[in-house]
Structure 1
Amino acid sequence: METAVERLIYGSRWILAPIYLGLSLALLALGLKFFQEIFHVLPRIFAIKETDLVLLVLTLIDLALVGGLIIMVMLSSYETFVSRLDLAAEQDKLGWLGRMDYTSLKNKVASSIVAISSIHLLKVFMNTPNVVEDHLFWYVVIHLTFVASAFAMGMLDRLTRHD
């Protein structure tokens, strides 16, 4: 009986596989949004102000960082929690794949969130005439919370590491 329960619990990890597949659909939606932004600005590229162009580029960078975060979480989590990825050719395999444990994934996700938040905050600062002053304060507080959280996680990992 115990063995059957343990096998059932262990096999339930496959419930995560469709969730990771769903992340690939989110990545597709992000890619569509990325190119929608580019196609939206191309016809008027010579007419827009430099500040607006920089804001657009920051938006594109933001989308790219979120896309990288999705890939990192999707692939690394699948390999950590579900099954090893069996790729046909080793040259296709990403260098970090298979070497990233849960702790390093957690730290990379936290770092990515801080980078995404930084880009968003930079966009807000570049657009300050259109931002309510109270909102600006809360954007900074939220960003600093992300920074402090990432720093604290890194410190906790360093303190608890058993080398």
Structure 2
Amino acid sequence: MLEKAVEGLLFRSRWLMAPFYVGLIVALLVLLFKFGHELLHFVTHAVAASESDIILGVLTLVDLTFTGNLVLIVIFSGYENFVSKINAADHPDWPDWMTKVDFSGLKQKLLASIVAISAIALLKAFMNMDAGADTTHIMWLVIIH
């Protein structure tokens, strides 16, 4: 009797994760706002920008896009794996991975996204290097990547 009650409580406690995923949706909206801000800045300054400024602007937009993708992967996979199943049959236009990523697959997708984001940050740092660049900072970026 007590065992069933404890198991039931443990099973229902998974719903405590739902607000975390709602919070990540809010974070995704903040990323969208930042993306729009960066895009507006990129477009309005494109005529006077140098080639390296254009490349850095594009890298910033790609970086924000990858980060948004990472948040989406965590939202869908985490919800599906830990809270409740999502019925994809009602949504034939959804990507296949959305309801088929197990915890191991989630870790692989997260690692791949983090490596891509890190590579973009490293490339941006290399492009911003000048004579007075902080070589220690660059060294740590390379080591971490």
TM range (shorter): over 0.9
1:124 and 1:131 in contact (8 A); partners too = no
Identity %: 45
Q: CA RMSD in A?
A: 1.3
- Could you tell me which residue of structure 1 aligns to residue 139 of structure 2? 137
In 2, Cα distance between the equivalents of 1:112 and 1:120? Answer: 12
- Could you tell me which residue of structure 2 aligns to residue 66 of structure 1? 67
How many angstroms does 1:52 deviate by? 0.5
Q: Is 2:112 the partner of 1:111?
A: yes
With 25-34 and 41-50 compared, the bigger mean Cα shift is at: 41-50
Secondary structure of 2:97's aligned partner: coil
Distance 1:72 1:83, change over 3 A: same
Q: Deviations over 1:95-151 (max 9, x none)?
A: 1122111001101101110010001100011111163011111110111xxxxxxxx
- Give unmatched runs, 5+ long, in structure 1: 144-163
The aligned length equals 143
How many angstroms does 1:93 deviate by? 2.3
TM-score by length of 2: 0.93
How many angstroms does 1:35 deviate by? 0.7
TM-score by length of 1: 0.83
In 2, Cα distance between the equivalents of 1:101 and 1:67? Answer: 20
1:6-155 alignment, distance < 5 Å = 6-86=7-87, 89-129=90-130, 131-143=133-145
Secondary structure of 1:128's aligned partner: coil
In 2, Cα distance between the equivalents of 1:76 and 1:61? Answer: 22
In 2, Cα distance between the equivalents of 1:96 and 1:87? Answer: 10
- Give unmatched runs, 5+ long, in structure 2: none
With 37-46 and 53-62 compared, the bigger mean Cα shift is at: 37-46
Q: Deviations over 1:67-88 (max 9, x none)?
A: 0000001001100000011357
2:14 and 2:83 in contact (8 A); partners too = yes
How many angstroms does 1:30 deviate by? 0.3
